[in-house]
Amino acid sequence: MTPFGARLRELRAERGVQLKDMAEALGVTPTYLSALEHGRRGRPNWGFVQRVIHYFNIIWDDAEELLRLADVSHPRVTVDTAGLSPDATRLANRFARMVARLDADDIAGIEAILAAVQARAKP
């Protein structure tokens, strides 16, 4: 499941909306919507996310959060290490092989490391 798919499912549950009814209102098939929720479809496009925002009448920060979640919800990520060090390529490949084995604490720890690197990179 992707972050966007999980949030979409939460929104439906919070509002008691059936998948088939939402799909019809958004102009997509229930199969597509289900696949999106379960991470079997790629990142949704901007137009689709806008339709979801309007469908649920989501405003301001919550709408921005939904757009952010859509942006980080591609279930098949490609990491281009061309021009980087052999260590970077080895790390990317090792991470790809092991990501399915990470538990919530592992993921939180890696997220913390990446946040620290990002903070150092800001001018």
pLDDT tens figures, 3-22: 999 999 999 999 999 999 99
* pLDDT, averaged across the chain: 94
* Confidence at residue 93, expressed as pLDDT on a 0 to 100 scale: 95
* Confidence at residue 109, expressed as pLDDT on a 0 to 100 scale: 97
Contact 15, 56 (CB under 8 A): yes
Residue type, 47: G
Sign of CA dihedral 45, 50, 53, 54: negative
Contact 44, 68 (CB under 8 A): no
Sequence ranges of the chain with CATH classification 1.10.260.40: 3-71
Could you count the other beta carbons within 10 Å of the beta carbon of residue 64?
12
Which pTM value belongs to this model? 0.75
* Confidence at residue 30, expressed as pLDDT on a 0 to 100 scale: 97
- pLDDT cut 90: percent of the chain above it: 89
In CATH, 3-71 is 3.40.50.880 = no
pLDDT tens figures, 35-94: 999 989 988 999 999 999 999 999 999 999 999 999 999 888 889 999 999 999 999 999
Is pLDDT of 123 > 80?
no
Is pLDDT of 122 > 80?
no
**Alpha-carbon distance 18 to 14, whole Å?**
11
Residue type, 65: E
